[in-house]
């Protein structure tokens, strides 16, 4: 059986290659692409034999001088040296073919569907975004419909319950939940979103992608291996995405870099359960750093698994989130009010009384009724205020008279 | 046996009487005292027979025109009418005698020990402060040594544990814990403070009052009755205080007014467990309203008893507090760092490595060692960076060489 190869545009070829050669979040690479354009940048990198073009060397340095980039990373020659070995092995057309065969593709800044919210990352923006699955990639450019839900890998029962409850409610309101595909809270968030998404399925395909897994490695492999079934389900019902090309292994660096992609795509990030030094906190700090909304779910102060959430509430001004409605508020989606309404301890039934009537209410005896004069002395009110107040309280069922004397009554 | 009656100053007599006649937080009464002084104010109120002195009527109205006082409360004649019945019954010398017999006394703004932090309440400041016990009342004018710890009356096991742990740590650092003497969290805070205070006892008397109960009624009675033993213990080891005179019953109004006294006295208020509409939230809002520090302890989002704390974190910008050290920070007392330090998930052992060394670390295989050239391609680094990085990682015990080839090592 012969397959017709899709025709790829030169910018696609170039960016596919660049996303294979240049590490995520490499400012030197981003600067070269910004200055020379992707096609010329790819040509310079792949034809490098030891001589750095002086114009671009100068321009890259100037481009990065205004940023907080470390001085060593402002030098194109060091970058070209760094990229040399990988450039020799790059085969972007093959990678694009592979991804098409796997039922995916690649978005670039030249595409209309490119998520403009990546602009917030400045020179740290991804060079391309690979995707795979059945979901509509157009959702990625709608941050207001995307909520990141992340947390620690060793989730407690509490963390799983919290994550599951909040994600179900959020997806039920048409919001897509992004996470990192890791064990623990991430997996729990994806699974709950898939479950909630199934409720709105037509012909096997949900009306919108209920969840998107943002991977640290290439989309030709599922990682971590223990989440293979889950990630396959996400890919079938929705989307998995990555900024790195197929064949790229997930590394510590790429995990950390991946977190900025999650944070930048979503209008808000919610940490449902995290340890004091969880990787989820890096996603949270990225989100806060680029002005995205940040929420954290409180928990027991004795749970080490909630210590990271409490740290975010204290140090990063995260907003405490206790249910799905408050999670939706993070990304400005209004939900029917659900909070509160539990029994009032101190002022139940008495809201709306003025101060003098409240004083009078306090003075009313349960037994042995008192005259208005006695009530005036007890309550410290004038006789006029007492007489007026008694009639108001009686109207609310809070006072009753026996002849001239009055006592407390209880409505209902 | 004859007892020599203590001689009371005229301002004491006057203020003792005023604190019996005028309800707490009555702006008309405060205005009259501010304008005429306590002695003349007491004379005007106790000699009132239906004719309001026109000068004071005018002055009280002008005094309150600049405040947010409701218009009806700016009229002295209404106040005099309100106070008439109680004024006829007032016997301040007797009340002062009673309190002296009970082992207490009364502070007034004329005393050096008067808590100047009441100034923050403006015209809502107490007219006097009754006390009873063995503690040094001088502590009351040191807000930086006073922390309010309050909460709901129906405490959970979690709330009790939290309150007890935090209070013990705070008192152990020489801080006095104020609370309202109520059931639940208040009682738990007082009890834990007494326990912690016993550790620093000399000759049966703690070095400082570990706890102070701020009562809503007169100090001649213990209220609520179920807390009699506890309140008696507080009175013996420390202090109980109230702005109302002996013989005054606690009423709903006085409970609400009492909360402002707790909030104003302390540099910070901590709510350890509270329901959505707990009275503790009124104390918290008073504290925030006059610029005192406000903290709240997080808990399970499924516990209705923590809903009030979460509400304060969301709506009142309360600072989350998870241990005694963070509670001490509220009132700017530094404590030895205790937080954090739990295991790191993502970056344990790798803090301090630069980006290139981190990339190199990721590229090092556990088995099958690789040559520097292979590592350069895998890590996307130049050969110089690889060689330098390998020697740095080896120095940290993170890499080891087998001939020319390198693999991952683990320190320790």
Share of chain B above pLDDT 90, in %: 71
Highest average pLDDT, of A181-185, B68-72, B393-397, comes from A181-185
Is some CB atom of chain A closer than 8 A to the CB atom of B23?
A: yes
| Rg of chain B on CA atoms, in Å | 30
**pLDDT of A118 strictly over 70:** yes
Listed residue (B103, B300, B136) closest to B219, CA to CA:
B103
Q: Taking residues A270-284, report their average pLDDT.
A: 94
A223 touching chain B per CB within 8 A: no
Say what percent of chain A tops pLDDT 90.
Answer: 71
Give yes or no on whether A116-330 and A355-408 have one common fold: no
* Facing residue for A377 by CB, picked from B86, B326, B363: B86
Q: Is a pLDDT exceeding 70 seen at residue A350? A: no
Rounded mean pLDDT, A9-13: 97
Looking at the partner chain, which of A82, A256, A319 has a beta carbon nearest the beta carbon of B382? A82
User: In terms of CA atoms, which chain B residue is nearest residue A25?
Assistant: B355
Using one digit for the tens of pLDDT, what is the confidence trace for B36-46?
999 999 999 99
- Whether residue A357 is predicted with pLDDT greater than 90 in this model: the reply is no
CB contact under 8 A, A347 and B152: no
Q: Would you state the pLDDT for residue A5?
A: 61
Q: B310 in contact with A at a CB cutoff of 8 Å? A: yes
**Res. B322 pLDDT band, cuts 50 70 90:** very high
Going by C-beta distance under 8 Å and a sequence separation of 6 or more, which residues neighbour residue B218?
B130, B242, B244, B245, B246, B247, B248, B249
Q: What is the dihedral of CA A8, A9, A14, A18, to 10 degrees?
A: -60
* CA A209 – CA B215 distance, rounded (Å): 58
Return the pLDDT at A200.
60
Q: Which A residues, 2 through 21, put their C-beta within 8 Å of a C-beta on chain B?
A: 21
At B377-390, the pLDDT tens digits run 888 788 888 988 89
Task: Spell out the SS3 assignment of B335-377.
Answer: CCCCCCCCCECCCCCCCCCCHHHHHHHHHCCCCCCECHHHHHH
Q: Are the CB atoms for A227 and A187 separated by under 8 Å?
A: yes
Is the separation of the CB atoms in B275 and A342 below 8 Å?
yes
Pick the CATH number of B116-330 from 3.40.50.970, 3.90.120.10, 3.40.50.620, 3.40.50.450: 3.40.50.450
Render pLDDT for A143-160 as a digit per residue (tens, 0 to 9). 999 999 999 999 999 999
Is the C-alpha dihedral spanning B19, B25, B29, B30 positive or negative?
Answer: positive
User: So what's the pLDDT on residue B353?
Assistant: 74
Say if residue B1's pLDDT is above 80: no
Average confidence score pLDDT of chain B: 90
Residue range B330-351: average pLDDT? 52
Residue B318 has pLDDT above 90, yes or no: yes
The pLDDT tens digits for B253-293 are: 999 999 999 999 999 999 999 999 988 999 999 999 999 99
pLDDT average, residue stretch A343-359: 57
According to the model, what pLDDT value does residue B201 have?
A: 58
A44 or B378, which is more confident: A44
Confidence of residue A211 (pLDDT cuts 50, 70, 90): very high
Which class for A271: exposed (0-12), middle (13-18), buried (19 or more C-beta within 10 A)? Answer: buried
Q: For helices B54-65 and B76-89, what crossing angle results, to 10°? A: 110
How much of chain A exceeds pLDDT 70, in percent?
A: 92
Residue A340's pLDDT band, with cuts at 50, 70 and 90, is very low
Interface membership of A371 toward B (CB under 8 Å): no
Of the listed ranges A171-180, A193-202, A206-215, B52-61, the least confidently predicted one is A193-202
3-state secondary structure of A178: strand
Top-confidence residue, B359 or B329:
B329
- Mean of the per-residue pLDDT values of chain A: 90
Task: Give the H/E segment covering residue B130.
Answer: strand B129-133
Q: Does B286 touch chain A if contact means CB atoms closer than 8 Å?
A: no
A345 pLDDT tier (thresholds 50, 70, 90): very low
Fold of A355-408: Arc Repressor Mutant, subunit A (1.10.10)
Would you say the C-alpha torsion B111, B116, B122, B124 has a positive or negative sign? negative
pLDDT digits (tens, 9 = 90+) for B83-105: 999 999 999 999 999 999 999 99
pLDDT for residue B349: 45
Strand intervals (E) in B134-248: 146-151, 176-179, 201-202, 205-206, 211-214, 239-242
The model's pLDDT over B7-35, given as tens digits with 9 standing for 90+, comes to 899 999 999 999 999 999 999 999 999 99
If you average pLDDT over residues A379-387, what whole number do you get? 84
* CA pair distance B364, B356, nearest whole angstrom: 13
Handedness of CA A79, A80, A81, A82 (dihedral sign): positive
pLDDT at A349: 45
Residue contact A85–B380, C-beta within 8 A = yes
Mean pLDDT of B217-231: 96
Give dist(CA A248, CA A21) in Å, integer: 10
- Nearest Cβ partner of A298 from B277, B298, B323? B298
Residue A52 and residue A76 in contact, taking contact as beta carbons nearer than 8 Å: yes
Q: Among all residues of chain A, which has the CA nearest to that of B358?
A: A253
Is the pLDDT score of A353 beyond 80? no
| Helix (H/G/I), strand (E/B), else coil: A133 | strand
pLDDT digits (tens, 9 = 90+) for B173-213: 999 999 999 999 999 999 999 999 987 655 555 678 999 99
The answer to whether A305 faces chain B, any CB pair under 8 Å, is no
Contact call for A322 and B310, based on CB within 8 A: yes
Predicted pLDDT of residue A344: 34
Domain residue spans in chain B?
A: 10-91, 116-330, 355-408
- pLDDT at position A358: 80
Closest to A15 measured CA to CA, from A108, A94, A99: A108
């Amino acid at each position: 059986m012969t397959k017709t190869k899709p025709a790829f545009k030169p910018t696609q070829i170039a960016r596919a290659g660049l996303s294979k050669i240049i590490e995520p979040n490499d400012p030197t690479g981003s600067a070269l692409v910004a200055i020379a354009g992707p096609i010329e940048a790819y040509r310079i990198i792949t034809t490098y034999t030891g001589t750095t073009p002086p114009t671009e060397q100068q321009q890259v340095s100037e481009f990065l001088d205004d940023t907080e980039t470390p001085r060593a990373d402002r030098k194109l020659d060091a970058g070209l040296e760094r990229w040399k070995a990988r450039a020799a092995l790059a085969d972007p057309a093959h990678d694009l073919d592979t991804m098409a065969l796997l039922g995916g593709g690649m978005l670039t800044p030249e595409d209309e569907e490119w998520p403009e919210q990546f602009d917030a990352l400045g020179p740290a923006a991804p060079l391309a975004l690979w995707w795979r699955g059945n979901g509509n990639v157009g959702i990625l450019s709608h941050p207001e419909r995307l909520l990141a839900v992340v947390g620690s890998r060793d989730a407690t029962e509490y963390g799983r319950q919290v994550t599951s409850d909040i994600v179900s409610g959020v997806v039920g309101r048409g919001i897509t939940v992004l996470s990192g595909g890791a064990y623990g809270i991430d997996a729990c968030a994806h699974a709950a979103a898939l479950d909630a998404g199934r409720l709105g399925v037509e012909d096997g395909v949900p009306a919108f992608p209920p969840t998107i897994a943002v991977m640290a490695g290439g989309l030709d492999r599922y990682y971590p291996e223990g989440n293979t079934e889950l990630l396959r389900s996400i890919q079938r019902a929705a989307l998995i995405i990555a900024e790195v090309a197929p064949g790229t292994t997930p590394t510590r660096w790429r995990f950390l870099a991946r977190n900025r992609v999650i944070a930048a795509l979503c209008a808000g990030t919610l940490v449902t359960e995290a340890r004091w030094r969880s990787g989820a906190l890096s996603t949270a700090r990225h989100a806060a750093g680029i002005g995205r909304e940040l929420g954290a779910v409180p928990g027991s102060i004795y749970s080490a698994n909630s210590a990271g959430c409490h740290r975010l509430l204290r140090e990063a001004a995260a907003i405490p989130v206790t249910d799905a409605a408050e999670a939706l508020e993070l990304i400005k989606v209004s939900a029917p009010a659900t909070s509160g309404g539990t029994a009032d301890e101190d002022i139940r039934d008495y809201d709306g009384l003025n101060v003098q009537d409240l004083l009078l209410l306090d003075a009313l005896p349960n037994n042995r009724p008192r005259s208005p004069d006695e009530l005036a002395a007890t309550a410290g009110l004038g006789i006029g205020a007492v007489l007026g107040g008694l009639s108001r309280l009686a109207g609310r069922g809070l006072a009753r008279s026996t002849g001239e004397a009055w006592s407390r009554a209880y409505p209902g």
